[in-house]
Structure 1
Amino acid sequence: MTAPIYLSVVVPVYNEEEVLESLYKRLTKVCDDLGKPFEIIFTNDGSKDRSSEILKEFHNRRPHQIRVIEFSGNFGQHMAIMAAFERVRGEVIINLDADLQNPPEEIPHLLEKYQQGYDYVGSIRDIRQDSFFFRSLPSKFMNWVRRMVTGTRITDQGCMMRAYSRRIVELMSQCHESSTFVTVLGYSFATNPTEIRIRHDARTEGESKYGIYKLVRVTFDLFTSFSMAPLHIFTVFGFFVSSLSGLLVVYLLLRRLFIGPEVEGVFTLFAIAFFLISVAIAGIGIMGEYIGRIYQVVRSRPRYLIREIIEDLSEPQVSSVNKRTAK
């Protein structure tokens, strides 16, 4: 077993061939400048482009520092991160996206805050360089909804660039959930969390893998994985509607007794009936989400399938050679 190293950088990759070379150069330069042993773990999440070949070339350039996990299919960003988390060797672990919108040059700022005694350093995108209506606005709204439902004090839950202590990552690795949300899961294990603002760059190559539908889908996963709030809200609402319905029945009964039969309110009753039916259908949908999660856990199927791990686990050396190989 090799000695622990200082830093592990985890990068999930999905169809990012256009930016990988630039990411490699900038990321390795930042890590070299730290002057401490480090490793970079790329998880290829079933990319359809040349990402796999490029990552293997990175390993050939720096076999002691670059490790590559190859998934046999697309299992999602959070599963790609968890697969790397289960294999890191670093004292501190930093996660960032491969699209370079999270600049690798912000890593020293996260480490500086971590060294002040925090075990979880979150990040807030300072000035977002995304489309306002299609990315920034929906993301801000989803962040607000997530905070209300889960009760987590994370300002920007969608920003994946964060620093974790090894203790937190080991606890996260013990959670074998079929769906998860890495930033919230890590926060739930933190004893002294904090946040800092980081630069956010515009995407220069490729396209975002997150549309509005995927943001909504991820939010549903978050709700059903970390909170019972949707069920609680629906239960309270159900009691409220049931009480109103009971009062309406009493009111109609009294009108029937004192006024006699009438048909003026038939369409009103139809409208109320349709509303209650739609509420019941929504409730069934919410319960179905939770039951679906239970079903996935009960099946005990692997959360992801690894086709290949490309690595050399000998201890990384800190020397000027590292800088010369970052071409």
Structure 2
Amino acid sequence: MLSVIVPVKDEEEAVGAFVTRVSAVLDGLRETDGTPLSWEVLFVDDGSTDATMAAICAANRADPRIRALSLSRNFGKEAALSAGLDHARGAAVVPIDVDLQDPPEVIGAMLEKWRAGFDVVYGVRRNRQSDSLPKRMTADLYYRAHNWLSMDKIPEHAGDFRLLDRKVVDVIKVMPERNRFMKGLFAWGGFRQTAVEYDRVERRLGRTKFNYWKLWTLAIDGITSASTVPLRVWSYLGGAIALGGILFALFVIAKTILFGSDVRGYPSLMVAVLFFGGLQLMSLGILGEYVGRILVEVKHRPIYIVRETVGDA
């Protein structure tokens, strides 16, 4: 069986069009012996406040292969995706967004790569012309920064749209962390991976739920979950500043002995105070990011709570 996981949040306009197009694509897929491929579509409703669940229920009545989980509130896309992975039954699992910007027709090419022996087949956006220029620039900057800071390299311009073998899904399911950055978990797991390129189109139904603040938060989560370099760099920076302070102190002592002392001005004093004060506050902020994540982890609360299921989910 092939499982397609679809996290949704207030997407009543997009569900029907998605089901129609994806069902046609999946019905056209075949096993290696030519028989129709068995499949399921698992929606994960992440606390929608509109008629998203009603649209999913209607799709389930028309086709029982459409299943759904409804979470008790909005836990975030990473938690919703984790819920989908926990409940998917397929030998291969494909997460995809409901907005159809990632074309479901690519799933066939992913299946071919999987049958050739690859465990993870991730989709790489050949171009991002459907995104605004600021988003393209910040996305490129993020991928470069993440891969420079982290040992777990993530493919550039690859989102959650990918095919995962069952053994990869089973590894991700037992990872205990609550602060989940799924692209980082996919990379950490390793296995044989390859790419399939595709062109991403503009969104035509509904509106994106990701604004720049949410994307910034996701970027911070990704870096702090995959790397301790932001913490380590302050040790080096602090050592360099301390060494500079010692050298400056020796210079002042020598100057005082040779030429006597003079009174320094107020502006230079304030520059030094504000500069080092800013560095200290910045380092405390980075430390606080990690401490906050430790607090979340030690509580051991569930990543998500399922309110109800549709179908035999």
Superposition TM-score, scaled by structure 2 size: 0.93
What aligned pairs does 1:212-231 form with structure 2 within 5 A after superposition?
A: 212-231=212-231
The CA deviation at 1:210 is 1.9
Aligned to 2:32: none
What is the DSSP-based 3-state SS (H/G/I as helix, E as strand, rest coil) of the residue aligned with 1:196?
Answer: strand
Match of 1:131 in 2: 131
Correspondence 1:288 to 2:283: no
Cα 1:127–1:208 shift into 2, 3 Å: same
Q: Is the CA contact (8 Å cut-off) linking 1:43 and 1:81 kept in structure 2?
A: yes
Q: Which amino acid aligns with 2:252?
A: L
CA RMSD of aligned residues (A): 1.6
Cross-structure match for 2:12: 17
Residues 126 and 197 of structure 2 are in contact (CA less than 8 Å); yes or no, is this contact kept in structure 1?
Answer: yes
Measured after TM superposition, the shift of residue 200 of structure 1 is 0.6
Choose 121-130 or 69-78, whichever is displaced more: 121-130
Asked if structure 2 preserves the Cα contact closer than 8 Å seen for 1:101 and 1:200, the reply is yes
Shift of 1:70: 0.2
Aligned length: 307
The offset of 1:42, in angstroms, is 0.4
Which fold has the larger relative contact order, with Cα–Cα distance below 8 Å and residues 6 or more apart in sequence?
Answer: 1
The alignment partner of 1:90 has SS state of coil
Structure 2 alignment gaps of length 5 or more:
30-35
Which residue of 2 is the match for residue 59 of structure 1?
60
Q: CA deviation at 1:12?
A: 0.4
User: Using the alignment, how far apart are the partners of 2:272 and 2:264 within structure 1?
Assistant: 14
Query: Percent identity among equivalent residues?
Result: 29
Distance 2:208 2:251 in 1: 55
Residue 187 of structure 1 contacts residue 193 of structure 1 at CA under 8 Å; is this kept in 2?
no
Residues of 1 paired with 2:120 and 2:79: CA distance?
A: 20
1:208 correspondence with 2:203? no
Displacement of 1:133 in angstroms is: 2.7
The DSSP-based 3-state class of the residue aligned with 2:4 is strand
Equivalent residues of 2:146, 2:153 under 8 A apart: no
Quick check: 222-231 or 129-138, which moved more? 129-138
Aligned to 1:30: 25
| Separation of aligned partners in 1, 2:237 and 2:158 | 29
Within a 5 Å distance, the mapping from 1:130-279 to structure 2 comes to 130-156=130-156, 159-264=159-264, 266-279=266-279
The more displaced of 248-257 and 175-184 is: 248-257
> Counterpart of 1:110?
110
The more displaced of 262-271 and 26-35 is 262-271
Other-structure match for 1:42? 43
Q: How much has 1:62 moved relative to structure 2?
A: 1.6
The superposition leaves residues 274-306 of structure 1 with CA deviations (integer Å, 9 ceiling, x where unpaired) of 111111111111111111111011111122121
Under a length normalisation based on structure 1, what TM-score does the superposition of the two structures give?
0.89
TM-fit CA distance, 1:158: 5.3
Deviation at 1:82, TM superposition (A): 0.3
Which residue in 2 is equivalent to 1:297?
A: 297
Q: Find the aligned partners of 2:163 and 2:249 in 1 and give their Cα distance.
A: 58
Taking the aligned partners of 2:124 and 2:41, their CA distance within structure 1 comes to: 23
Amino acid at match of 2:183: T
> What's the offset of the Cα at 1:191?
1.9
Deviation string for 1:47-73 (max 9, x for gaps)?
Answer: 12211111111111122x111010111
